């Protein structure tokens, strides 16, 4: 009896760990939080909610968007970087975070150390102006700014954002001056542009397009090297007054450092599946974004190269936060 009892106990002990492993909940087994590091109304918020809806379908679990705006997107990124690395807190990251590595002297995180899940695509920017500003193209804007260098201002969704850096880059290559007015996101910045409290904005297409189409602001150029398919009548900055000017934003899905690779791979498969869905892609493109996708490593390489690229631009433009 004693031998049989001891053998039974030994077998039970050897089986228990396997049972415990098999009992581990499969990812995802609870709500996933997607940190949008800008306030509601801007491009990151718009695209985050669109992506969150589709990801919910792909992974079979609710994805909620958590807006954590401020400091050019760095507050939300800092929060996400310190979350438990289990795949239940994600970051809708952007080129802003690559730029931030150069313009903020003391960040509590490094975007290059975040775990990469998937590249989410690129967006063009539109140079939009208040309707009362007497300019219809970049050449006229340059002439206006040179005639009154202390009179005009430009809005951005925050210091150190792509909009800030690309406008300073524009000033640098055209020899013009404008006063920088940073906001806590694109939404409030565009409201002040419409009302005339500021005059110019180099805004991402997803948040600018609706206002351009409604006529509440006027688009005088796009910032990429090629014209936008959804605004074919609007010239590029390069062809209308600032040769060789080319700047776009990009976005990526990140997780906290040391997130398990199987979790990242599952998220990557979900994102790639989303970009194979025609209705989702049509919605994404209608917002002014180009489709993304690809392996997690592609976002890792892009992040590193963009940190280096914009560090050079920031240095030349002498941007300091």
Task: Sketch the domain layout of the chain as residue ranges.
Answer: 32-123+249-317, 125-240
- DSSP bridge pairs for 128: 201, 219
Q: Which residue has the tokens 């994404």?
A: 284
**Please, what is the average pLDDT of the chain?**
91
Q: Strand locations in 164-268, DSSP E? A: 179-182, 200-204, 218-222, 249-255
| Segment (H or E) for 167 | helix 162-174
* Residue 270 pLDDT greater than 90, yes or no: yes
Q: What is the pLDDT of residue 167?
A: 96
Q: What is the pLDDT of residues 287-296, one digit of tens each?
A: 889 999 999 9
- SS3 call for 64: strand
**Percentage of the chain with pLDDT > 70?**
93
pLDDT category, 22, cuts 50, 70, 90?
very low
The CATH number of 32-123+249-317, from 3.40.1160.10, 3.40.50.150, 3.40.50.1220, 3.40.190.150, is: 3.40.190.150
Q: What is the pLDDT of residues 63-96, one digit of tens each?
A: 999 999 988 899 999 999 999 999 999 999 999 9
pLDDT category, 192, cuts 50, 70, 90?
very high
Mean pLDDT (whole number) for 52-60: 98
Spatial CA neighbour of 217 closest among 154, 163, 168:
154
Q: Strand locations in the chain, DSSP E? A: 32-36, 63-67, 89-94, 115-123, 125-129, 153-156, 179-182, 200-204, 218-222, 249-255
Q: What is the C-alpha to C-alpha distance for residues 80 and 208, in angstroms, rounded to an integer?
A: 27
Q: What is the pLDDT of residues 140-167, one digit of tens each?
A: 999 999 999 999 999 999 888 899 999 9
* Residue 21 pLDDT greater than 50, yes or no: no
Q: What is the C-alpha to C-alpha distance for residues 205 and 155, in angstroms, rounded to an integer?
A: 15
Cα(first)–Cα(last) distance of the chain, in Å? Answer: 77
125-240 shares the fold of 32-123+249-317: yes
Domain 125-240 has CATH 3.40.190.10: yes
């Amino acid at each position: 009896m004693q031998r049989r009892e001891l053998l039974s106990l030994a077998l039970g002990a050897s089986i228990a760990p396997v049972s415990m492993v098999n009992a581990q909940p499969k990812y995802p087994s609870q709500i996933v939080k997607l940190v949008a590091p800008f306030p509601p109304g801007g491009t990151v918020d718009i695209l985050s909610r669109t992506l969150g809806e589709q990801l919910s379908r792909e992974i079979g679990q609710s994805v909620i968007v958590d807006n954590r705006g401020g400091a050019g997107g760095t507050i939300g990124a800092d929060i996400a970087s310190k979350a438990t690395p289990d795949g239940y807190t994600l970051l809708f990251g952007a080129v802003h975070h690559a730029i931030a590595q150069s313009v903020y002297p003391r960040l509590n995180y490094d975007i290059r150390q975040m775990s990469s899940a998937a590249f989410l695509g690129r967006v063009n920017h539109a140079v939009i102006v208040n309707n009362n500003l007497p300019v219809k193209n970049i050449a006229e804007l340059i002439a206006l700014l040179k005639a009154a260098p202390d009179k005009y201002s430009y809005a951005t969704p925050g210091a150190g954002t792509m909009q800030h850096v690309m406008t300073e880059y524009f000033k640098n290559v055209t020899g013009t001056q404008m006063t920088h007015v940073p906001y806590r996101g694109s939404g409030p910045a565009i409201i002040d542009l419409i009302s005339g409290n500021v005059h110019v904005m180099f805004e991402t297409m997803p948040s600018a397009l609706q206002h351009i189409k409604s006529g509440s602001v006027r688009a005088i150029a796009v910032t990429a090297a090629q014209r936008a398919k959804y605004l074919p009548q609007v010239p590029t900055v390069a062809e209308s007054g600032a040769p060789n000017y080319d700047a776009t934003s990009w976005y990526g899905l990140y997780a906290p450092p040391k997130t398990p690779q199987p979790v990242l791979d599952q998220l990557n498969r979900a994102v790639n599946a989303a970009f194979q869905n025609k209705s989702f892609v049509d919605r994404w493109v209608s917002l002014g974004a180009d489709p993304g996708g690809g392996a997690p490593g592609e976002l890792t390489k892009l992040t590193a190269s963009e940190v280096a690229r914009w560090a050079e631009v920031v240095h030349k433009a002498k941007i300091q936060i």
